[in-house]
A and B are shown apart, each in its own frame.
Chain A
């Protein structure tokens, strides 16, 4: 290779007479000192100013320190970079910046003294900011929350001034806040500023490239659209975020991720960086960073007021929490992410972590803390009022001592038809205090620790006794706070994982369950001794699926948790649940009752269901009815008492109660299906047929619809042929998504119906198809009556008469629901002409009548107490 193509310095190939590598080297090297002849480089005089040195150099201009002789003062002089002169946009922007700044007169905005032109280059002089900029002060401000709030409130006031004069700053970031000699903050660098509503496409792009971490999502998602002051509110929030946490929002992401995800991803809540950050400041900050402009503070002034209020220890926390508590639907989605820790730790987390010497309460957040909700199921006006009164009392009687419970809601808004998880997301509290009106007109208040499912407090009181109740409730809360728990010793990291896991369990987001399992496993890896973590993991497994694998894992975890802490009713509850889903009713019953004895109230709705399954209808009704007003979430809690009524033959009351339970959930198809079932229960075959036929068989519920229709035809109208056609049509779709544990009902049903028609040729094949699943379920200890019933029917069809009756007797023994089912279940068709069956059935009728009598007594007692209370 000849010398002219090779670089003598490095030996690389030269291109067009120069070496690219050396050129890159030179470009990467710091500008050489000798080659930076400042004295020559900048003009010594500009207008009447004598330049003293360069302060900063930005994309468009250079800022010099300059002396203004006639006023004997030092000023800052910004001059457009000569290289930018012929870029029309740069020149225009520079001039606009000067004009805009000069037009703004506010003590928080760096004042412009003079605008001029020097040898064709525009410049303007400003007050000299001798105190440096805010970016240099992030570290020194760390932890000085009141100072941060005051300083930033001042900045926000200045920004508000600009907004009121129609100017958007659009590039707010710490380096654009400077300090004068008196250490007062001044907003500067209006280089990207625009008049409100002006087209933003050009400078929007610059802002985007420059500082993505401070750019509002709408700038990224819809560049070119007219921007609003909310852009600056976002910028202020981003500055606050950095002052609180030491890092800009999304510092954990690459700049590309920020650009792509700023519109969808929530910032890590500041308190996750540092739990000592006051929740109120966190809430202020996160509100500024809301994705939708309309969800942020209405303007910089409102933001300033919030900060001032914080700095003055005002009642902001409450207002904020009120805001958090009644979010719009879309805001709630954003809150779900925010709940992760930010707010959640504010409530319960501190319970455990801050066990160590109680931190001096921050005056702004020391206000309330306890969520007081009226009955969540259709609260009456009286309940809303009672909750409000109680909340008011808590404020008065529980001053600073309850600060750790901060972040919950101290107001009695009505939450009709919200689910528990929505309320959690909304108030960010794991503590739910509910007020309901009793039959006698008095009020019941219940405080449940939703992390452990147990009740902290329960009392009944009359109007006027709120102060007393509030004091007792406060004592109960305090007692829980000081009660030692294993979780108190957990590392923050472990606790974080635990709470994240719990959050995902409570959220209804898709994939939440898998995330919950991962987080809870992580918590256990970090804190193997946390019974609570094991218990929640058990729940996560149960929620994951009904397969034996998950249930066995759940049993392992729950048993571990129970062994670690036998008093943790929550763990025993999970154990019972896993047993229940395995249809091991006896063991489930034992576990549920044990959990209940240890204060776990959440178990009550499942216990009610279990009572129902085994035919203790009166107990089921009593417990379910008691529980249902407090458990708005679980429609099961609502539906169980209704089913109990239906099971004892009180059809009208049962149907009405069931409709109420269903009204809160379910799509039209489901509602139709349920109405069809109700029609079937009361023997209205025609209506049932009509409703069930209208349900699209392709949906998941199609099977149930078909089954309902088939049952109607077969047991009510005797139209076996239609029943058979219906069952056959759905048989295939059924097999795929139902576990084998309940046998294969469609195959069995088909066999039953064919037998009714006397077409026995396919019976052996169908029975052989259905038998293994049923046998496996029975071998696995299933105590679910329908499984036994199906087996009995199968045996009966196979002419195994004695085994069939043995199984049938066992089914009756397992639960009285069998009796109820005899009226419309296909499984009874093979028995219907047997005398042995009639006898069995008659025996159970008496027991059912007994349950009916007990329920009627309960209803009568309730209505009498209501009457006495004059309601």
Chain B
């Protein structure tokens, strides 16, 4: 590894837009396509939320897709302006409205097919869904918690992609357990043996990994808030809603 160099991030990983920009732009077409890009990243919380409202997986899939299409075609920034908050709140508000309208749903079912919006493996999400037993919680909390998980999952995916791009996916896989303070990670010495590095080098690599994760996570959240200075607040909110889980 080159001195002073951490795994580099690639150009195409992050969307070239953010919620703040969508709100700021005066160009409705631009806003629409940017919104579509952003929505695509948050398919999972919407799907999970719809599922938890009691829809069967195939219906939920259709509905989620229809919801996004509806959102992008009809709501977009005009509605966002009224909400004036995070992307998360905007989506939840729009979803609530959408689900409340039967006719919209009917229309949604008719649409399904050709306009594929889903980019997530439904089966994968379904397995996660079974694992978390928070059906008793309010729709808001369910949504926010799923959102938090999605944000973290995105950040981890991005980070792994970054490492992989510079040929360090093995390093990432070995060290990622050190990201989670709750995980029982092997010692640096043990890790070093596997990786052929000394303890100091592992320590530095872990430190970089954590820092990079922090950056990636903040950046991920940054796309969903209006300005970067709201990132900390949003991160705390997401952590707090997840904390509810263990007490609920």
Say yes or no for B58: interface residue by CB 8 A criterion: no
Take A35-B203, A256-B84 as given contacts and tell me if A19 and B180 are in contact as well, using a CB distance cutoff of 8 Å: yes
Say yes or no for B232: interface residue by CB 8 A criterion: yes
Say yes or no for A21: interface residue by CB 8 A criterion: yes
Complex CA gap A37/B182 in Å reads 23
- A23 adjacent to B20 (CB under 8 Å): no
- A256 adjacent to B227 (CB under 8 Å): yes
A1-33 vs B, CB cutoff 8 Å, 1 = contact: the mask equals 100010111111111111111111111100100
Complex CA gap A407/B192 in Å reads 74
Interfacial residues of chain A within 22-64, with CB under 8 A of chain B in the complex: 22-28, 31, 35-37, 40-43
Complex CA gap A83/B23 in Å reads 29
A236-272 vs B, CB cutoff 8 Å, 1 = contact: the mask equals 0000000000000000001111011000000000000
B: number of interface residues (CB 8 Å): 68
Say yes or no for A87: interface residue by CB 8 A criterion: yes
Closest to B165 in A: A86
Complex CA gap A220/B24 in Å reads 7
- B21 adjacent to A205 (CB under 8 Å): yes
Tally of A-B Cβ pairs under 8 angstroms: 176
- A260 adjacent to B229 (CB under 8 Å): no
Say yes or no for B114: interface residue by CB 8 A criterion: no
- B182 adjacent to A255 (CB under 8 Å): no
- What residues on B are CB-neighbors of A42 within 8 Å? 4
Say yes or no for A132: interface residue by CB 8 A criterion: no
- A21 adjacent to B243 (CB under 8 Å): yes
- B200 adjacent to A259 (CB under 8 Å): no
- B11 adjacent to A87 (CB under 8 Å): yes
- What residues on B are CB-neighbors of A205 within 8 Å? 21
B210-234 vs A, CB cutoff 8 Å, 1 = contact: the mask equals 1111110110001000111110100
- What residues on A are CB-neighbors of B236 within 8 Å? 28
Interfacial residues of chain A within 830-860, with CB under 8 A of chain B in the complex: none
Flag the segment in B60-68, B98-106, B136-144, B147-155 that touches A: B147-155
- What residues on B are CB-neighbors of A118 within 8 Å? 4
Flag the segment in A144-152, A206-214, A638-646 that touches B: A206-214
Flag the segment in B35-43, B49-57, B115-123, B127-135 that touches A: B127-135
Say yes or no for B207: interface residue by CB 8 A criterion: yes
- A8 adjacent to B182 (CB under 8 Å): yes
Complex CA gap A221/B3 in Å reads 43
- B8 adjacent to A82 (CB under 8 Å): yes
Complex CA gap A17/B206 in Å reads 18
B49-92 vs A, CB cutoff 8 Å, 1 = contact: the mask equals 00000000000000000000000000000000100110000000
Interfacial residues of chain A within 676-693, with CB under 8 A of chain B in the complex: none
Say yes or no for A721: interface residue by CB 8 A criterion: no
Closest to A41 in B: B204
Complex CA gap A8/B177 in Å reads 14
- What residues on B are CB-neighbors of A82 within 8 Å? 4-6, 8
Interfacial residues of chain A within 426-452, with CB under 8 A of chain B in the complex: none
- A15 adjacent to B242 (CB under 8 Å): no
For residue A91, give the distance in angstroms from its CB to the closest CB of chain B: 10
- What residues on B are CB-neighbors of A27 within 8 Å? 213-214, 217-218, 235
For residue B144, give the distance in angstroms from its CB to the closest CB of chain A: 12
For residue B30, give the distance in angstroms from its CB to the closest CB of chain A: 9
Complex CA gap A260/B77 in Å reads 12
- A83 adjacent to B20 (CB under 8 Å): no
Say yes or no for A143: interface residue by CB 8 A criterion: no
Complex CA gap A13/B145 in Å reads 11
- B24 adjacent to A208 (CB under 8 Å): yes
Closest to B200 in A: A40
Say yes or no for A70: interface residue by CB 8 A criterion: no
Q: Out of A23, A119, A221, A223, which one reaches B4, CB within 8 Å? A: A119
- A12 adjacent to B246 (CB under 8 Å): yes
For residue B57, give the distance in angstroms from its CB to the closest CB of chain A: 19
Complex CA gap A205/B30 in Å reads 14
- B230 adjacent to A255 (CB under 8 Å): yes
Complex CA gap A85/B183 in Å reads 32
Complex CA gap A626/B245 in Å reads 82
- What residues on A are CB-neighbors of B179 within 8 Å? 18, 23, 26
Say yes or no for B156: interface residue by CB 8 A criterion: yes
Complex CA gap A830/B215 in Å reads 91
Interfacial residues of chain B within 16-48, with CB under 8 A of chain A in the complex: 18, 20-21, 23-26
- A16 adjacent to B156 (CB under 8 Å): yes
- What residues on B are CB-neighbors of A40 within 8 Å? 200, 204
Complex CA gap A10/B246 in Å reads 7
Q: Out of B5, B128, B215, B227, which one reaches A119, CB within 8 Å? A: B5
Say yes or no for A765: interface residue by CB 8 A criterion: no
Complex CA gap A863/B2 in Å reads 99
For residue B168, give the distance in angstroms from its CB to the closest CB of chain A: 13
Say yes or no for B186: interface residue by CB 8 A criterion: no
- A83 adjacent to B182 (CB under 8 Å): no
- B20 adjacent to A208 (CB under 8 Å): yes
- What residues on A are CB-neighbors of B226 within 8 Å? 254-256, 259
Q: Out of A41, A83, A208, which one reaches B212, CB within 8 Å? A: A83
For residue B147, give the distance in angstroms from its CB to the closest CB of chain A: 10
- B21 adjacent to A23 (CB under 8 Å): no
Say yes or no for A776: interface residue by CB 8 A criterion: no
Say yes or no for A464: interface residue by CB 8 A criterion: no
- A21 adjacent to B245 (CB under 8 Å): yes
A520-551 vs B, CB cutoff 8 Å, 1 = contact: the mask equals 00000000000000000000000000000000
- A20 adjacent to B212 (CB under 8 Å): no
- A26 adjacent to B153 (CB under 8 Å): no
Say yes or no for B167: interface residue by CB 8 A criterion: no
For residue A38, give the distance in angstroms from its CB to the closest CB of chain B: 11
Say yes or no for A88: interface residue by CB 8 A criterion: yes
- What residues on A are CB-neighbors of B11 within 8 Å? 86-89
Closest to A40 in B: B204
Most buried by B among A5, A20, A255: A20
Say yes or no for A758: interface residue by CB 8 A criterion: no
- A7 adjacent to B213 (CB under 8 Å): no
Most buried by A among B9, B81, B152: B152
Closest to B247 in A: A11
Q: Out of A1, A7, A209, which one reaches B228, CB within 8 Å? A: A209
- A15 adjacent to B149 (CB under 8 Å): yes
Complex CA gap A87/B13 in Å reads 11
B179-215 vs A, CB cutoff 8 Å, 1 = contact: the mask equals 1111110000000000000001001101100111111
- B246 adjacent to A85 (CB under 8 Å): no
For residue B71, give the distance in angstroms from its CB to the closest CB of chain A: 19
For residue A475, give the distance in angstroms from its CB to the closest CB of chain B: 55
- A7 adjacent to B182 (CB under 8 Å): yes
Complex CA gap A87/B8 in Å reads 8
Say yes or no for A357: interface residue by CB 8 A criterion: no
Most buried by A among B10, B183, B213, B238: B183
Say yes or no for A725: interface residue by CB 8 A criterion: no
- B215 adjacent to A83 (CB under 8 Å): yes
- A20 adjacent to B153 (CB under 8 Å): yes
Q: Out of A31, A83, A254, A260, which one reaches B24, CB within 8 Å? A: A260
Say yes or no for A120: interface residue by CB 8 A criterion: yes
Complex CA gap A410/B29 in Å reads 51
Give 9 pairs: A residue, B residue, CB < 8 Å, sorted on A: A13-B245, A24-B152, A31-B214, A83-B212, A89-B11, A120-B2, A221-B26, A222-B26, A259-B24
Contacts A22-B182, A28-B239, A209-B18 known; list 17 others, CB within 8 Å. Answer: A7-B180, A12-B245, A12-B246, A13-B245, A14-B182, A16-B156, A20-B148, A24-B152, A25-B239, A27-B213, A35-B203, A37-B207, A84-B8, A85-B8, A86-B9, A87-B8, A222-B26
Contacts from A to B (Cβ < 8 Å): 1, 5, 7-28, 31, 35-37, 40-43, 82-89, 118-121, 205, 208-210, 212, 220-223, 254-257, 259-260
Contacts from B to A (Cβ < 8 Å): 2-11, 18, 20-21, 23-26, 81, 84-85, 128, 131-133, 148-149, 152-153, 155-156, 165-166, 176-177, 179-184, 200, 203-204, 206-207, 210-215, 217-218, 222, 226-230, 232, 235-236, 238-239, 242-243, 245-246
Query: What are the nearest 4 A-B pairs in CB distance?
Result: A9-B182, A255-B227, A11-B246, A21-B242
